[in-house]
Structure formats: structure tokens, C-alpha cells
Amino acid sequence: MMVFSVPYQTQFVPPKYAVFPAINASLNGLSAVLLLIGHKYIHRGQMAAHRAFMIAAVITSTLFLACYVYYHLHVGSVRFQGQGWSRPIYFAILISHVTLAVVIVPMVIVTLSRALRERFDKHRDIARWTYPLWLYVSVTGVVVYVMLYHLFAARTHG
């Protein structure tokens, strides 16, 4: 089932937009680090630090989403160039990443909303699910980037 369709596929990224995949991967990676640190702080009972890191993760993920949408509206989708064993691995990661990315957005909103309204019992109930899924989406976003733009990138001739 295709949730989001792009107007075209390309093998090459126009130079004007070439920086966006690295920016997106960096924002995903930073989100993962912020989530890990925020999680560590709540387990140490440091709620203020936890709140700061988790809000930073929300901001970072929101910036990622804005950059991601902008990039794909202008570039379309970039075709995966890997062959053989890499294809099923890449697409399994990509499909799970995209599916959970769609699921995680409302979960993050609800989790954040409950925390900001100080409904911590309800916040904890959903955060137990939100945290690992959000972390998975952030990490697999970086994995997809590395596979698509580095390990199996289209080779330019010249």
C-alpha cells in the first residue's frame, strides 16, 4: 500500500538539492542521540533534563520532516541502485521505516501533549511505545540514507 506518492523517480539529485539528504540524515541521527540522552535522564529521575532533550528531539524531528518534504517535492524519489542481496534488505528497512514514520507522528504528538499537560501516568503509558518506535525510525532513516546515497549510490561517469 502506497501512502505517499511522488511525481517521478530520478537516479541523480540536482546539485541545488544535493545537500538535503545529508541534512536529513544528520537531523535523524541527532534525533536519535537526543532520544537516547532524554531516556537516560528520565531513568535517573532528572525530569527537567529529560523534558529539554525530548523537546529538542521533537524540534529536530520536525525540522527533519520539513526538509524531507521540501526535498522530495522538488526531487521526487531517488531510485535505489543496489542489486542482488541488497535489494530485499534495503526495501525491508525502507518499508518498516516509512510505515512506522507515519505511525510515530501522532504518537509523538500525544506523548508530548500528555507530558506538557502533566498527565504523567498517561504519558508513561504511551511513551513506552513511542520511544522505541521513534528511535527505530530515527536510526533507520540514517541507514536508508547510507544505503541509498553512499553504499549503493548511482555511479556518475565522467
CATH topology of domain 16-151: Four Helix Bundle (Hemerythrin (Met), subunit A) (1.20.120)
Instruction: Determine contact, residues 114/122, Cβ cutoff 8 Å.
Output: yes
Q: What is the pLDDT of residue 77?
A: 87
Residue 10: phi and psi, rounded to 5, are -135, 155
Residue 77: phi and psi, rounded to 5, are -100, 145
Q: What is the pLDDT of residue 11?
A: 60
Q: What is the pLDDT of residues 134-144, one digit of tens each?
A: 999 999 999 99
Q: What is the pLDDT of residues 69-88, one digit of tens each?
A: 999 999 888 889 999 999 99
Q: What's the N-to-C CA distance of the chain in angstroms?
A: 39
pLDDT band for 2, please (50, 70, 90 cuts): very low
Q: CB burial class (10 A; 0-12, 13-18, 19+) of residue 116?
A: exposed
Instruction: Determine contact, residues 141/68, Cβ cutoff 8 Å.
Output: no
